[in-house]
Structure 1
């Protein structure tokens, strides 16, 4: 496997009428092949017929299922790996207190389960122990004011890290929990077309955003190009990796709005970060494919941005969840309506 350094250009975002260039990073490596390839065959764990859980998280011996299916009244379900039972569903869809309008992402940080309400421009926090014990009483609510973030992650009880802010020319924001204000921004998006609106730039560079459990590094895995970018959260500097297919994000602009075109592809659609590895679910399909946001490849990297291996899954899925010990992967088989699992070592 050859890896070499490119020090000047990066991501070319192409409009159907004109070329626009965004420099995603000044420090990019490329590669064409993973050093190791393997295959995984999933096994059925338990049937789940209440919708397709687009997100799955694991904490202790509990799976948290983020269910976005239409017609369902609640967003979240728990499944206990120790008892083999489901909890009652919780977090109602809606605009009232303790409800969420449009759930985007969920995750765990320290003692909290956090829920990013993209539509409602807020984050809600639930005590982790109460989630596991099915005894949710109160939820803490943090408003992002006028800021809508594509991805938001709880860092600690004081701060959130966010990406995909349509009003900012920076890729990453640190947001104060108490005020909802942006305290710090970094990872500037540099571009050469003065008339290109910020929201188009941000949409073209949407990413799956994952934080290392030690909270000293952040990875952005881009949705429409096979680039990953790792930030050192102490220095705020980053380095990027492009490959193995090395395709760019292409789009068209109509009335100052970003649209996919016939060449737009989908790269990374979900992921999990452990202290050892970054696991990314990869599609690679053209946007026009009806299964563009499903993937059957797992790309694995370490935190020094070395490609480790490519794993072929035996089914296409929307989501992945890896245990913190890097031993087990969970997902959902839409065809059989089962939560599935497999060993990954």
Structure 2
């Protein structure tokens, strides 16, 4: 109880100190430093009835829409065939070739795809093939993570790099082998001069993780601070940038039966990066623009209408202002289209950039 009181005092001081800054920042930037700021107009896609959509993904002209609590977890649409529905895959269940959820799709050059089933804490690899009008998916292998995994990438060294809520070891990433064995914890959490309990830090510094298609580098973008980190395939930090609004996490520490936890606060806790898409040259980040959540906003609070574009050197290149807020993005890099999912309307929108 005494420790929790000390932490509560520290967090009060955070809110009173606007001069807090991160250590070891390579550079900061503002909106004025971004070469292109451009509004984008939404076009609603006719995909038919989408029930309980959660996220979207794009690969090789195919748009994937994952859903919750449906007979199949993913619907697949071919954008080269007038967005025709060509199949439903990953039957909901716990058996072979089934999943309870689809949190991420990681496509490999050998015609297979890793599926992150966050509900069952499994990573499954499937054969993925299209024959005529039919999609073939067949489970090849499966591995279980021993810790709760929030975001993951699979790199060309045959290792999974994951963000986690585990506090032993207290590392930025937990690394797993192809067989699912925990190899090590690597990297450190950012430091802006405030001490906090480990179980609070893992929430305060939660973020979205994605790799480039060649799978030899990755980017981590944070949810409660507009901080972006670029890493190589061994999780060596290459660059850390802060912007465009340069805010640090602002939160309270709650007490749950003697255990401290991060308490997000209405009109106080700011939000940053929420969904990522990456090519070999570019990274697009759906950005909450530093906004806070107001009481009663509900699901509207997870929909945003700004997209920051950077390159793999961390240089900000463009800032797109969408005329329709979305909660998940995917990108057709060849046709220069951002796809955005509106979970409230259960619709997908296309934005030409």
- Please, what TM-score do these two structures have when normalized by structure 2? 0.82
Deviation at 1:127, TM superposition (A): 1.6
Question: Which of residues 5, 12, 18 in structure 1 aligns to 2:10?
Answer: 18
- 1:46, 1:340 within 8 Å by CA — same for their partners in 2? no
- 1:65, 1:76 within 8 Å by CA — same for their partners in 2? yes
Question: Which of residues 81, 84, 88 in structure 2 aligns to 1:83?
Answer: 81
CA gap of 1:99–1:200, structure 2 versus 1, over 3 A, is: farther
| Residue 314 of structure 2 corresponds to residue 316 of structure 1 | no
- 1:25, 1:239 within 8 Å by CA — same for their partners in 2? no
Residue 115 of structure 2 aligns to a residue whose secondary structure is: strand
Residue 172 of structure 2 aligns to a residue whose secondary structure is: strand
Gaps of 5+ in 1: 1-13
Question: Which of residues 224, 248, 270 in structure 2 aligns to 1:265?
Answer: 270
**Counterpart Cα distance in 2 of 1:157 and 1:53:** 33
- 1:152, 1:160 within 8 Å by CA — same for their partners in 2? yes
Deviation at 1:45, TM superposition (A): 2.6
Residue of structure 2 in register with 1:152 after alignment: 152
CA gap of 1:74–1:17, structure 2 versus 1, over 3 A, is: farther
Residue of structure 1 in register with 2:3 after alignment: none
- 1:109, 1:155 within 8 Å by CA — same for their partners in 2? no
Gaps of 5+ in 2: 1-5, 15-19
Residue of structure 1 in register with 2:177 after alignment: 176
Deviation at 1:190, TM superposition (A): 6.6
Deviation at 1:326, TM superposition (A): 6.7
Deviation at 1:298, TM superposition (A): 0.7
Deviation at 1:63, TM superposition (A): 1.1
Output aligned runs, 1:1-345, within 5 Å.
16-19=8-11, 26-33=24-31, 34-68=34-68, 70=69, 72-84=70-82, 85-110=84-109, 111-129=111-129, 133-144=134-145, 146-156=146-156, 158-167=158-167, 168-178=169-179, 180-189=180-189, 196-234=196-234, 236-253=236-253, 254-255=255-256, 256-262=260-266, 263-283=268-288, 284-288=290-294, 289-290=297-298, 291-325=300-334, 327-334=336-343, 337-344=346-353
- 2:124, 2:139 within 8 Å by CA — same for their partners in 1? no
- 1:228, 1:242 within 8 Å by CA — same for their partners in 2? yes
- 1:153, 1:160 within 8 Å by CA — same for their partners in 2? yes
- 2:218, 2:230 within 8 Å by CA — same for their partners in 1? yes
CA gap of 1:15–1:246, structure 2 versus 1, over 3 A, is: farther
**Counterpart Cα distance in 2 of 1:25 and 1:326:** 39
**Counterpart Cα distance in 2 of 1:107 and 1:48:** 26
The structure that is helix-richer by fraction is: 2
CA gap of 1:293–1:190, structure 2 versus 1, over 3 A, is: closer
Deviation at 1:160, TM superposition (A): 1.4
CA gap of 1:82–1:32, structure 2 versus 1, over 3 A, is: closer
Deviation at 1:64, TM superposition (A): 1.3
- Please, what TM-score do these two structures have when normalized by structure 1? 0.84
**Counterpart Cα distance in 2 of 1:52 and 1:268:** 22
CA gap of 1:244–1:185, structure 2 versus 1, over 3 A, is: same
**Counterpart Cα distance in 2 of 1:235 and 1:334:** 33
**Counterpart Cα distance in 2 of 1:43 and 1:32:** 29
